[in-house]
Structure 1
Amino acid sequence: MTNGTIRDAVRPFAGLLPMTILTMLAACGGGSAGGGSVTPPPSPPPVVTRDAFGCITGEWRVAGGVPAETRYQTDHFAFHWTGDVVAQADAVKVGQALENVYRVYATTIGLKPPQCESSDKMKININIAGDNGINVAGSRNGTGYIDANALGFATPRTVAHELVHVFQSATPGWTHLPRSFWETHANYMVAQLPDFRGDVDCSEDAVNAAYLAHGNARTRYCGWQFWDRIAQKYGYDPVNAVWTATGMAGDQYATLAATRGWSAAQLNDEFGDWAIRNVTWDYVNRDGYDRGAVFRSAYGGYEPDTPVAFRARRLTTLEPIDLAARRFAVPAAWAPQRWGYNLVRLVPDPGASTITVAFRGVTQAASATPALPGGANEPLQVPPPGSGWRWSVVIVDAQGAPRYAPVLQGGDESQSVAIRADDRAAYLMVMATPVALQHLDDDQVYYSVYRYPWMVQVDGAMPWGYQRDVPDRIAGGVRHPNGNGWVGPAARVDPSVYVGPYARVYGGTVTGNARIEDHAILMSGAVGDRAQLAALTTLGGTATVTGTARIGGVFDTITGNGFALSGSAQLLGDVQIYGDNRQIGAPLFTGFATGVYYGMILQTDGNDPARGALRTAPVPEVTAVPDYRWR
């Protein structure tokens, strides 16, 4: 500060006492009344240089590879292997691909890479072993790594996915975000890459089971479309902030709301807006890329009564509570969980110009069970259900473009929507949106997760299956005399078998006093004795279900390559067979004769009481049996 500058600074204080001015001068290094030593100016801060990724520059080195020998290096990666498990040319190819992916993640998307704020730079180790089918990644002793099997190593999409985990492990989010979200976010990131924009991978699983809680473990790799929509609407930063925000302790949804300044109601609104767009996949990236066209091509449409087994649950089939009054309810097993949603096809009445929907949510004040039994994957406590919904009507016009009715909330609302003679289709969307943020643990067991039942009265249209001239539910099929359900020409069903009015048997063999109930579907396999298929079960492959065994599933097709469920065993809820020849790294599932099981099923669960090996009956659920009385 020069003397002139001091004077300029002092001038406004001309009326102050001399001692005050003297103190100010001393503080500025201008001397003291006693003529003491002058305070030296502070040392200039060190110059920090940054690279093209916005990170502090430094020397890159290799540390901690397994095996220790480094066979190949790029700017940010060190490759380790022994023998000839990997060809050098493949390593060069993958190294170039990883550098390109690293650049997109760090610059285009803006998620900062590991050690970004350090000048001590350690290359990410790519440790390549035999072909055990497993790929893992993260941070080990402060150094990023990808442990790759030889087969997965040569698959560009696989290493791009695993590289996301390295980035994630260098953020504050790794301490509190659930492991299932690590996988969801990794596939969301891969979907932003130019080479994989047209690759939807397994994301159709989330479309086919949209009524399950968003973020559920069954679709942990697949349910990234909501995050894609957030990025389209607000840019990449809000999704990045879920990982990079400091001081957070909640899950991905609580963190998103906190960093955006959203209330629970506002977050619910975002989910409702997302769900209606999924009718036509009304998604366009901020750079103009038509993501919706990719989804429409890969997923197909919403076809009622599709014979494609794994798509059979996309559209919800309602059940009448007063058909004459046009009042219907969602089947209890089909009711949506938190941020899950139902889509119902509405068929306009002949000559109708308006569809009017009156909505009634079935509210629940508290858990239907006072305590959980202490099994695997139960939460420490169960909150109140906080019943809430978002719902709307979506019209698809003659060109395939959507018209959206307002997304309403609450459990007692009505609205009318104009329709045109040339409209292609109409859909009712109903989403469960609890009034308070409701955390679910990673892979939280099915019976501890609330469902949110609802009812509607529809005028000017009928839900699919109740319109005039409704098509046969199975082409070439017939109604079964015992239960009035549908049986296809390829199936063999004994007269003694019960096939309920909403059930379908496309193929396979059903004998004895077996029951195909609720909205269950049998594609192939055998069900006999007094066994049951119930809820939303879809069974295929060569599975056999006998004795008094029961499958009451709500997710995916149980392909059952040769397993036998017998005795009194039960598979319930969001059941998924692990080790059914579609998965790697688990023994083949051969079946159970006892126990009651939920969620991901391993053959070893048959010896685990916490997983249900000793149960003889279903666990009481937190969701109450719905009281479908119109009000």
Structure 2
Amino acid sequence: MKTHVLLLLCLLLTGRIAAQKTVFIPSEFSSAPLNTWSYSKSYQSANFVVFWGNVVGTSPATYSDPNLRFNPQSVCDTLEKIYTKFVTELAFCSDVATKNLGKYKIIIVMNDTWGSGGPSGWAFGGTYGNTIGAMWVHPNATRDGAVISHELTHALQGMISIQENTVGGGYVGWEPAGFFWEAHANYMRTQMYPRFAGDDLPRWMGTQSFHLSSTRHHYGTFKWLYTIQDAEGINMVNRLWKESLANEHPLITYRRLKGWNQSQLNDFLYNYAKKEVTYDYTSNNFGSIMRAAREALKTSEPHYVWRLYTLLTQISASTGRYVVPDAFAPQDYGYNIIPLYPTCSSRTVTVKFKGHTEVNSTAGWRYGFVATNANGTVSRYGALSSANESQISFQMNSNETGLYLVVMGAPTTHTSYVWEPGWPKIKRYPYELRIANALPEGYQPDYRAAYKTNGHTHSNGGGWVSNTATVAATAYVGPKAIVRGSSNVSGNARIEGTAWVENATVQNNVVITGNANVWGGTYSGSANISENAILNNCTVSGTAIIKGNAMEWGVSFGAGVTVGGDAEIGSCSTAGVYLQVPHTNNGRTECDGQSATHTSNADVNAGYTQFTDTQMAFSGSVACTALAAAHASVTALKDVVVYPNPVRGQLNISMRNFSPDEDVLISLYNSAGIIVLNRKIKATPNLTLDAVAEKLQPGVYILKVSGRKEFVKKIVVSK
């Protein structure tokens, strides 16, 4: 007996027998319909208590409606595993006996089980009574841990300000830090369930040039936390919450904890941005999971890879000058990834960078090269550059198959943006490039070659059309544009630039241009869709203009509506200019008809004039002495040149930098899209066709030269 007493005393002294947590009943449970709660409609585990309403009775596991049916024990079993990960292993929040989390069980309220007026919706996390964490979840949100791990993080985030950072920290009650609650919750979810890391990846790739704390991607802006975790461990991420000050942005918390200045913070964030090329993260196998998710999208749903790579606007092909389009210009800590395709056998690429500092008072940049391996992992990082103007070079090694330029907006002074300030109120950092011995994304000869299968070039414009799509001869499809799926393009519609149209009906005088991406829906009248606009199953008619980085799903626009900036709005046919998500912070409401001169549309960024050739001149010689040979994964500068054009007699076709043993198919289409010549040959530098001998009638023809790459040329046969 004495031995047992001593053993019990030792256990108590060492804390191995913890006091059982109790259930805190919040004041909200005294009001209908939550006042119908009872312990007979609840379930408890060590750290959780689940309450449900009368709708599902006392046995929710056998309830007739499968959408409301749930097993309380299974829900708690899953939550207990997540709790162990977050609290015990990762030590995000303390549950020692003296803290509230050590005294009370986290409350789970099952949504849509309480009847009229009761808690409803998908899933939410927070606290009750400034005392204990809570979650309000629909039964369907409890199935696999993905949702409840996110919401449990919110409950624990709320506990930080209740019990650990009680002097105004913990990012409570300060709007510019609101994004971090969602970003961190998804980050924590990947600690428990790494397989969900790629959720919402299309949106992230489509908004990676936006400022880091943008509410257009706040669920996905957590990968900078993996940069911290890989370098310093997860405790530093925890410290952001536990040691934050009142009204402090998370980046400023980190800057303060590190003892850095703004320039050093910018260097760190560029270190994160460059990792995004290959998702170069090691913790939790996060990098390989993200790479696999991205490759799966490229293969199976390429229309979702909207703005992964930045497409520059060419100023001059002869001098290799480019400017970043306004829609792609990086915002605060946003970044551009620009693939470069070497054209010189030395594989040395030189870039002259010059930023437009006149656009705003905080303009700054970080930039550099990233070289990759054939398996998609990083090989080397080039040196970081921070000057507003400089010339940088990089020579690829023989084993390296990809080269990228990464440019990040690096503000000289940090700005903490309110929730939904609106596109015109966010600083952007435009720049210009001069590139020697390489072509940027969109200008390489085999641009989008992977998606040009089972189709043909369109007779009017030379763009690519899938065989499953229908494009009228009167409609124009430009040489870099692509029409896929069950699309039907008719009338005088024009698909220009690098626009992507899939499963959509486009008719009348609609113009889809720039880097616009249209999937599904109907587009008619004189609507104009341009720049980086993304439309998914929308209806656009009249003279509506959709531009900028507008991103829309299943809505209708008509009349004189202009939608641009970073807008995501509902259906509207009231003429006006909509460049933001409507919010009290930007003074806009849905479809309010405000004009371009409304204060919400006044841009904080000044305009600029493009630099001169002299300003963008290289220092020293950057000439290439020999064109690049073909590499397995680096595009050589292959080309097809035809002359004379127009032609009356003999047409010369020069296949430059083709392999001598390469099989090539020569196809010629008339203006009606009918093949009038189809001939398979071995590639040759000099091929001649006799227009008279081939009985070609005067008119416009499309010549397609298809080998390992495909080239399209417009030929005019004259009388």
Instruction: Establish whether TM, by shorter chain, passes 0.5.
Output: yes
2:388 corresponds to 1:389: no
Instruction: Look up the match of 2:423.
Output: 446
In structure 1, which of residues 519, 522, 529 is the aligned counterpart of residue 518 of structure 2? 522
Question: What is residue 139 of structure 1 aligned with on the other side?
Answer: 127
Residues 1:550 and 2:542 are matched in the alignment? no
Residue 433 (structure 1) aligns with: 410
How far does residue 208 in structure 1 lie from its aligned partner after superposition? 3.3
Counterpart CA distance in 2 for 1:237 and 1:273 is: 20
Going from structure 1 to structure 2, the CA distance change for 1:180 and 1:109 (only over 3 Å counts) comes to: same
Give yes or no for the alignment of 1:346 onto 2:346. Answer: no
Task: Determine the C-alpha separation between the residues in 2 that align with 1:359 and 1:574.
Answer: 26
The DSSP-based 3-state class of the residue aligned with 1:539 is: strand
| Structure (1 or 2) with the greater strand fraction | 2
Equivalent position of 1:20 in the other structure:
none
Task: State the distance in 1 between where 2:237 and 2:271 align.
Answer: 17
| 2:80 aligned with 1:82 | no
1:24 aligns to what? Answer: none
Q: Residue 117 of structure 1: CA displacement? A: 4.1
Instruction: Show the counterpart of 1:235.
Output: 233
Query: 1-side partners of 2:219 and 2:14: how far apart?
Result: 34
The answer on 1:125 being equivalent to 2:107 is yes
The match for 1:211 among 197, 209, 212 is 209
Aligned to 1:173: 170
Supply the distance in 2 between the matched residues of 1:506 and 1:149 (Cα, whole angstroms).
35
Q: How far apart, CA to CA, are the structure 1 residues paired with 2:16 and 2:579?
A: 49
Whether the aligned pair in 1 keeps the contact of 2:365 and 2:409 (CA below 8 Å) is yes
Q: Please report how far the alpha carbon of residue 553 of structure 1 lies from its aligned counterpart in structure 2 after TM superposition.
A: 4.1
Q: TM-score normalized by structure 2?
A: 0.69
| 1:275 maps to 2:273 | yes
Is the contact between residue 500 and residue 517 of structure 2 (CA under 8 Å) also seen in structure 1?
yes
1:92 aligns with 2:63: no
After superposition, residues 324-339 of structure 1 pair within 5 angstroms as 324-339=318-333
Q: SS of the counterpart of 2:318?
A: helix
* Contact 1:491-1:509 within 8 A present in 2 as well: yes
TM-fit CA distance, 1:600:
4.1
Deviations 1:404-431, CA, capped at 9 Å, x for gaps: 1012112111221111345321111111
AA paired with 1:429?
A: V
**Which of 287, 290, 294 is residue 285 of structure 2 equivalent to?**
290
Question: What is the CA deviation profile of residues 129-157 of structure 1, one whole-angstrom value per residue up to 9, with x for unaligned ones?
Answer: 31743322211212221112222234422
Q: Offset at 1:247?
A: 3.5
In structure 2, relative to structure 1, the CA distance for the partners of 1:117 and 1:363 (3 Å cut) is: farther
| Residue identity opposite 1:613 in structure 2 | D
SS class of match (1:258): helix
CA contact (8 A) 1:63 1:143 kept: no
Contact persistence 2:21–2:47 (CA under 8 A): no
On the 8 A contact 1:110/1:236 being kept in 2, the answer is no
Q: Decide which moves more: 156-165 or 144-153.
A: 144-153
Deviation at 1:161, TM superposition (A): 1.1
Structure 2 unaligned spans of 5+: 1-11, 63-69, 114-119, 161-168, 462-474, 616-719
**How far apart are 1:60 and its partner, in Å?**
3.0
Question: Following the alignment from structure 2 to structure 1, what is the Cα–Cα distance between the partners of residues 93 and 287?
Answer: 28
Cα RMSD of the aligned pairs, angstroms, is 3.1
The residue identity in structure 1 corresponding to 2:133 is G
- Determine the C-alpha separation between the residues in 2 that align with 1:499 and 1:400: 32
CA contact (8 A) 1:302 1:314 kept: no
- 1:251, CA displacement in angstroms? 1.3
Q: Distance in 1 between matches of 2:43 and 2:336?
A: 51
Percent of aligned pairs with the same amino acid = 24
Deviations 1:33-76 (A, max 9, x none): xxxxxxxxxxxxxxx978689xx967534322545423211112
Aligned to 2:662: none
Give the match for residue 159 of structure 1: 148
Query: Could you tell which deviates more after superposition, 345-354 or 618-627?
Result: 618-627
Q: 1:372-387 alignment to 2 at 5 Å?
A: 384=361, 386-387=362-363
3-state SS in 2 of match to 1:259: helix
CA distance in 2, matches of 1:469, 1:184: 37
1-structure distance, mates of 2:302, 2:393: 33
Comparing both chains, which one has the higher relative contact order based on Cα–Cα distances under 8 Å and sequence gaps of 6 or more? 1
**How far apart are residue 530 of structure 1 and its match?**
2.2
Evaluate the alpha carbon distance shift between residue 57 and residue 318 of structure 1 in structure 2; reply closer, same or farther with a 3 A threshold: same
Q: Give me the whole-angstrom Cα distance separating, in 2, the residues matched to 1:491 and 1:281.
A: 34
SS of 2:107's equivalent in the other structure is: strand
Structure 2 residue corresponding to 1:617, chosen from 588, 596, 605? 596
Instruction: After TM superposition, give the deviation of residue 215 of structure 1 in Å.
Output: 1.9
Closer/same/farther in 2, CA of residues 101 and 612 from structure 1, 3 Å limit = same
For residues 405 and 96 of structure 1, what CA distance do their matches in structure 2 show? 48
Query: What one-letter code is carried by the residue in structure 2 that aligns with 1:566?
Result: G
How far the C-alpha of 1:92 sits from its partner, in A, is 0.8
1:149-191 C-alpha deviation (Å, 9 max, x unpaired): 2222344221111111111112231423622211111010111
Change (3 A) 1:597 1:326: same
Displacement after TM superposition at 1:500 (Å)? 3.7
Aligned residues of 2:364 and 2:410 also touching (Cα < 8 A): yes
Instruction: Provide the rounded CA distance (Å) in 1 between the counterparts of 2:546 and 2:328.
Output: 15
Task: Tell me what 1:461 maps to.
Answer: 438
Amino acid across the alignment from 1:169: G
CA shift digits 1:110-137 (9 cap, x unpaired): 2114686437822211111317433222
Give the match for residue 584 of structure 1: none
> Over residues 364-411 of structure 1, what are the superposed CA-to-partner deviations in whole Å (9 max), with x where a residue is unaligned?
254xxxxxxxxxxxxxxxxx4x11111111111345442110121121
Task: Return closer, same or farther for 1:609/1:455 CA change in 2, 3 Å cut-off.
Answer: closer
Distance 1:356 1:78 in 2: 62
Q: More deviation in 141-150 or 171-180?
A: 171-180
TM-score scaled by length of structure 1: 0.78
Residue 494 (structure 1) shift = 4.7
Cross-structure match for 2:670 = none
SS, match of residue 309 in structure 1: helix
Q: Does the 8 A contact of 2:278 with 2:287 survive in 1?
A: yes
Partner of 1:567: 559
Instruction: Select between 516-525 and 136-145 the one with higher mean Cα deviation.
Output: 516-525
CA contact (8 A) 1:502 1:518 kept: yes
Greater CA drift, 126-135 or 390-399: 126-135
1:321 Cα shift? 1.4
Report the CA distance shift for 1:118/1:235 in structure 2 as closer, same or farther (over 3 A).
same
Aligned twin of 1:265: 263
Letter of the 2:82 counterpart: V
The alpha carbon displacement at 1:345 in A equals 1.2
Query: Closer, same or farther in 2 for the Cα pair 1:412/1:94, shift >3 Å?
Result: same
- Mapped partners of 2:92, 2:255: distance in 1: 19
Query: 1:332, CA displacement in angstroms?
Result: 1.3
Q: Deviations over 1:210-247 (max 9, x none)?
A: 11111211111122111122112111122112211154
Contact 2:493-2:510 within 8 A present in 1 as well: yes
Does the CA-based 8 Å contact 2:359-2:608 persist in structure 1?
no
In the alignment, the residues of structure 2 paired with residue 182 and residue 616 of structure 1 have an alpha-carbon distance, to the nearest angstrom, of 34
Structure 1 position 533, deviation (Å): 0.7
2:550 touches 2:564 (CA, 8 Å); kept in 1? no
* Equivalent pair of 1:508/1:524 in contact (CA under 8 Å): yes
* 2-structure distance, mates of 1:307, 1:362: 36
Partners of 1:503 and 1:520 within 8 A in 2? yes
Tell me what 1:192 maps to: 191
Amino acid in structure 1 at the alignment position of 2:89: T
Q: What is the alpha-carbon distance in structure 2 between the residues aligned to residue 320 and residue 224 of structure 1?
A: 33
**1:585 corresponds to:** none
Point out where structure 1 has 5 or more consecutive residues left out of the alignment. 1-47, 367-383, 578-588
Q: Which residue of 19, 22, 29 corresponds with 1:60?
A: 22
Conserved in 2, the CA contact under 8 Å of 1:332 and 1:625?
no
Shift of 1:209: 2.2
Letter of the 1:510 partner, please give it: V
- Amino acid paired to 1:163: L
2-structure distance, mates of 1:597, 1:114: 48
Aligned 8 A contact 1:281 1:293 in 2: yes
